[in-house]
Structure 1
Amino acid sequence: MNFVKFAVSSNGPKLLPFFKTLVLYFLIFPSSENPSILGAALKCLPIISLMFFVFLHGMSSKEEYKYSRRILAGLIFCCVGDAFLVWPNFFIPGMISFAIGHVNYINAFGFKPLNLTVGMAVLALDIGGILYLLPGIQGITLSIGVPLYVILLGVMMWRALARLNSIKDFKNWNKVCSSLGGILFVVSDLILGINMFRFRVNHSQALIMSSYYTAQLSIALSVVDSSHTAK
């Protein structure tokens, strides 16, 4: 608890740009039905703010460097994906950008401990999600690409959750934040997938973006304690 108070108090000012741009996005709330350069910029600004947060905090020592640079790379590719997804015609490039972002997050979280029990549970959820979405997916590219993306997203959540391997790990800011981020990322993409391929979700944009920004904030905050877990 003392570390949480310290982390919040010492890093709060560095997060002000994120919260300011987040408020700006939701105040203007650019419509997803009317894509524009302004809408793309507003959507990307909170993630760009998190990039600066990670760069300013996470690059301060050799121990933190490897973990933080991978989180930073993940944020960069996700930000590119955010811009692509503003325009429906660029959905596939956007999905690829996010997939590369997840690869960087997976590399940051690592594969120790393996925690196969969590992995099997996530795999079951992946299969269920794919089977649910497939009937609404049209075109060979999306029929292959979406399941592959879902699996990769599941691996990212598995590796985030696998780090909580004991009760003691729940006191580790780095591991709790990355795990929360992994879960919320899946929630956000699940709502997006249902809205695109199954049925219209009421207030989908607000639900998708609020869970997405919280996920990215949580993952970015995991660099605060990364010196204790970097490999």
Structure 2
Amino acid sequence: MLAFIIGHVHYILAFGFKPLNLPLGLFLYFLASMVVLYLLPDLHSIFVVGVPIYILVITTMLWRAIARVQFFEVLIMSSYYAAQVGIALSVVDAKATLKVNENKKE
């Protein structure tokens, strides 16, 4: 468990803390605390300490990973590329129709 925590801490450091997206972090920590409160009565010995720490680290890694994804920028670029494909396909279709019409005239 310690090896996984060390690995996840390295991921957190690699993801960084910009953009911060504090509301997302607060929401994820709230959910994580609900999970810890649910699990805590059934935990014994070292797991009473280890599981909450592990959930804290995993939640932090999840927060940092999600916060780095710029959903709206990706959405804008994907709609731009879809429009470019649509324009390109309409030109190909228009040239094919034009050739068919030229052949019919002959």
Structure-2-length-normalised TM-score: 0.66
The structure showing larger relative contact order (alpha-carbon pairs under 8 Å, at least 6 residues apart) is 2
2:51 aligns with one of 143, 146, 152: 146
Letter in 1 for 2:57: L
**How far 1:170 moved relative to its partner?**
5.4
Structure 1 vs Structure 2: percent identity of aligned residues? 44
- 2:71 counterpart of 1:158: no
* Structure 2 residue aligned with 1:121: 27
| 1:170–1:145 distance in 2 versus 1, CA, 3 Å | farther
**How far 1:126 moved relative to its partner?**
0.9
* Counterparts of 2:64 and 2:4, CA distance in 1: 16
Gaps of 5+ in 2: 78-106
2:12 aligns with one of 91, 106, 111: 106
Q: What whole-Å deviation, never above 9, does each CA across 1:18-74 have from its counterpart, x for those lacking one?
A: xxxxxxxxxxxxxxxxxxxxxxxxxxxxxxxxxxxxxxxxxxxxxxxxxxxxxxxxx
Letter in 1 for 2:37: L
* Counterparts of 2:39 and 2:14, CA distance in 1: 29
Gaps of 5+ in 1: 1-94, 173-231
- Kindly report structure 1 stretches of 4+ aligned residues shifted beyond 6 Å: none
RMSD (CA atoms): 1.8
- What are the equivalent positions in structure 2 for 1:43-192 lying under 5 Å apart? 95-139=1-45, 141-169=46-74
Letter in 2 for 1:118: L
* Counterparts of 2:2 and 2:76, CA distance in 1: 34
Q: What whole-Å deviation, never above 9, does each CA across 1:142-198 have from its counterpart, x for those lacking one?
A: 1011101101100000000111245004579xxxxxxxxxxxxxxxxxxxxxxxxxx
| Greater gyration radius | 2
* Count of residue correspondences: 77
**How far 1:135 moved relative to its partner?**
1.2
| 1:138–1:148 distance in 2 versus 1, CA, 3 Å | same
Structure-1-length-normalised TM-score: 0.32
Partners of 1:163 and 1:169 within 8 A in 2: no
Letter in 2 for 1:125: L
Partners of 1:113 and 1:165 within 8 A in 2: no
